[in-house]
Structure 1
Amino acid sequence: MAGGSRRRVWGAALGGLMVVLAVLTGCAGPFQYYEGTGLHDVAAAEVAGGWENVEGTRVVLREDGTALLEKLDGQGFDFEDGWRLSGTGTWQLSDDDGGQAVRLALTSRTRVERRSPATATDTSTPEPPSTYVWSFYVDRDQHDELKLFFFYGDPDIGNTYVMTRETGS
């Protein structure tokens, strides 16, 4: 009887450990462990210029470190709030072990828009921030063209918000 009791205790302990591990790994989406693109050869002058995405977002990164933003959505879970910010700010190119990133800071908000009418009528939606900071990973596509991206929404899904060189830039 003592052997069966011991097995039940060990079984319960092992089962509990499995549940804890499942919860911990289940909440760890792709970007939570993302270490970067590994790209280290991009110069700030190459990043400067106009960027856009398919949703009508436009970002201009000027060589003097200032920026113009139009309709830029929040990253991470902030994307789900549905706001789109426009204004001016600053940017800088950084480089660490995982690769290069563009840190874009909105310092003066000039306009707020909503991504969809349903979000605009939702009174539970938090007030959009007056300042905000994005971190865009720097990468190259299959044609060796630069692209900037960040993750948005539920981290378990791994959605990317991609900015490409503005047409004509």
Structure 2
Amino acid sequence: MAGGSRLRAWGAPFGGLMVVLAALTACAGPYQYYEGTGVHDATAAEVAGGWESVEGTRVVLRKDGTALFEKLDGQDFDFEDDWRLSGTGTWQLTDDDGGQVVRLTLTARTRVENRSPSTVTDTSATEPPSTYAWSFYTDRDQHDELKLFFFYGDPDIGNTYVMTRETGA
């Protein structure tokens, strides 16, 4: 019996440690360890121009560093707030060890829309921001064409919001 009680004495703390470790690793999704695409060859001239995504999202990055935003959703958990921002701002191409990132800043909001029509008035909804900043990773597709993306929603899932070159441009 003495051996059985020693086993139980070790089993409870060990089991508790396993529960804590499982909880900690369950929150470690792909975004949390994302180190970039490794793309370092994009130029500001290549990034400049019109970009589009789903549901009418459009971003124009001008060569002078200014930007126009139309119906751009929030990134990370802000996406779940359902707002889409339009307005003007700035952009810049940065480079670090993981790859290049396009940093966009909305400085003057001109319009706010929702992705889905609201059927119930939700008084707990947060007010959409009047200014906002996005970080788009740069990447290349199978044809070596540049694309921009950020993560949205729960970081554990790793959903990407992809912007591609405007087709009408």
Please give the range of the TM-score, normalised by the shorter of the 2 chains: over 0.9
* TM-score of the aligned structures, taking structure 1 as reference length: 0.95
* TM-score of the aligned structures, taking structure 2 as reference length: 0.95
Secondary structure of 1:59's aligned partner = strand
Indicate if the aligned counterparts of 1:59 and 1:69 stay in contact, CA closer than 8 A. Answer: yes
Any unmatched runs of 5+ in structure 1?
A: none
Aligned CA distance change for structure 1 residues 68 and 59 (closer, same or farther; 3 Å): same
Q: Where does residue 25 of structure 1 map in the other structure?
A: 25
State how 1:135-150 maps to structure 2 within 5 Å. 135-150=135-150
Indicate if the aligned counterparts of 1:48 and 1:62 stay in contact, CA closer than 8 A. Answer: yes
Q: Distance in 1 between matches of 2:124 and 2:143?
A: 43
Q: Where does residue 16 of structure 1 map in the other structure?
A: 16
| Cα shift at 1:29 | 1.5
Paired residue type of 2:98: G
Structural RMSD (CA): 1.3
State how 1:11-160 maps to structure 2 within 5 Å. 11-118=11-118, 121-160=121-160
Paired residue type of 1:151: F
Q: Distance in 2 between matches of 1:119 and 1:30?
A: 34
Question: 1:42-77: CA deviations, max 9, x gaps?
Answer: 111110000001221000011111100000000000
Query: How many pairs align?
Result: 169
Secondary structure of 1:111's aligned partner = strand
Q: Distance in 2 between matches of 1:43 and 1:100?
A: 10
Any unmatched runs of 5+ in structure 2?
A: none
Q: Distance in 1 between matches of 2:40 and 2:161?
A: 21
